[in-house]
Structure 1
């Protein structure tokens, strides 16, 4: 099972393996409070893609398509998949405010489709 959670939300006992999937550490969140087990920053969108999109919900479909193309060519995805296979519950942790239009949603769907 793969769950999503904002880095600003409190960790829970049922989060399982908590993986931060942002390229940058979330502002104002201490490492202790975040309770992150792994930081997979290599699977985050490229800086260019993130800048082009700039969290515009109207451009989310285009962002998702381009991000999936990046994931297809990213060897770090295989390392993340291996970690997912070792844990029955995984929470992908992200810093974006929008809980429906963010890269973690795309990444979760991508992993579930190919896992």
Structure 2
């Protein structure tokens, strides 16, 4: 834990075992912002399934998150107001570049600060 972590949001599919509620190092647990049970099983190769590639995982996870815009937009509003939100995941995720918490962070940032619409280039015609 760092002093500048702000609001610490756990986005694991399963609540970590062995941590007493009063000793949880996070402020909230939002399993809605984690992969579905099926996607979680596919990425870890559970139940004899072949492990899926990161690109497939990312594609499917982003599709799943469309059903959870309520949560994304809610946390994005807090970010837009200047609040720091630290997105946490399981200690099993050792590579942030291949963890859904990085995708969740990106979704928050994109919703909080959407890019300005691209200007349509002017068309100049000579007659």
Q: Is the 8 A contact 1:23 1:41 kept in 2?
A: yes
* TM superposition outliers: structure 1 runs of 4+ over 4 Å: 55-58
Structure 1 residues 64 and 78, CA gap change in structure 2 (3 angstroms) = same
Note the residue ranges of structure 1 that are not aligned, 5 or more in a row.
Answer: 1-10
Structure 1 residues 32 and 12, CA gap change in structure 2 (3 angstroms) = farther
1:57, 1:48 → 2: CA distance? 12
Q: Rg larger in 1 or in 2?
A: 2
Q: State the partner residue of 2:111.
A: 114
Q: CA RMSD in A?
A: 2.4
Structure 1 residues 87 and 20, CA gap change in structure 2 (3 angstroms) = farther
Note the residue ranges of structure 2 that are not aligned, 5 or more in a row.
Answer: 113-127
One of 56, 63, 86 as aligned partner of 1:91: 86
How far residue 13 of structure 1 moved from its aligned partner, in angstroms, is 1.5
1:24, 1:45 → 2: CA distance? 10
What secondary structure is seen at the aligned counterpart in 2 of 1:23? coil
Deviations 1:37-91, CA, capped at 9 Å, x for gaps: 1221111111111111117987111101110111122233233334444552111
Deviations 1:15-58, CA, capped at 9 Å, x for gaps: 11011111211133333443221221111111111111117987
What secondary structure is seen at the aligned counterpart in 2 of 1:73? helix
Give the TM-score of the pair, scaled to structure 1.
0.73
Count residues with an aligned counterpart. 105
